[in-house]
């Protein structure tokens, strides 16, 4: 199968877009693709412990369940470090399976992958 990079830039500010990004990642992984999720801008909040349970898109699957499935499927959640630091998020604040990354990592993944952006 292929290599998919899902980029998300919306979090608590737009629960629908946040949820759709994770739904796309889940679907790609279940289709057999190698998947990475890169969170930037306000989407970095999705990787902060305690935030997921407050996200619910209209008519969409519960966000906390999607996050849990991605963690079980071991889909990497890369979190833009400068975006997280600007929002007061430290390494110890990240959910399981999330780690900091930078724009170098994003561009390298984008070169190697099909990109879905939310």
Q: What pLDDT, on the 0 to 100 scale, is given for residue 80?
A: 98
Could you report the per-residue pLDDT of 18-41, keeping only the tens digit for each?
Answer: 999 999 999 999 999 999 999 999
pLDDT above 90 (res 118): yes
- What's the whole-number mean pLDDT along residues 94-105? 97
Q: What is the CATH number of the domain that holds 61?
A: 3.40.1260.10
Write out the DSSP string of 54-84. G---TTS--HHHHHHHHHHTT--EEEEHHHH
Domain that holds residue 85: 3-73+80-117
CB 42 within 8 A of CB 11: yes
Average pLDDT over residues 82-106: 97
Angle at 96 between CA 25 and CA 37, to 5 degrees: 25
The count of other CB atoms within 10 Å of the CB of residue 78 is 21
Instruction: Indicate whether 1 pLDDT > 90.
Output: no
Q: Is the pLDDT of residue 58 over 90?
A: yes
* Number of domains the chain is built from: 1
| Cα-Cα end-to-end distance for the chain | 22
């Amino acid at each position: 199968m292929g290599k998919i990079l899902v980029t998300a830039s919306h979090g608590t500010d737009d629960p629908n877009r946040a949820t759709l990004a994770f739904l796309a990642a889940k679907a790609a992984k279940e289709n057999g693709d190698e998947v990475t999720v890169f969170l930037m801008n306000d989407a970095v909040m999705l990787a902060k412990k305690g935030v997921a349970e407050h996200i619910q898109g209209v008519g969409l699957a519960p966000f906390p369940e999607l996050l849990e499935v991605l963690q079980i499927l071991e889909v990497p959640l890369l979190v833009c470090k400068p975006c997280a630091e600007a929002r007061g998020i430290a390494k110890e604040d990240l959910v399981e399976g999330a780690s900091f990354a930078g724009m170098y990592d994003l561009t390298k993944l984008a070169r190697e992958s099909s990109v879905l952006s939310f």
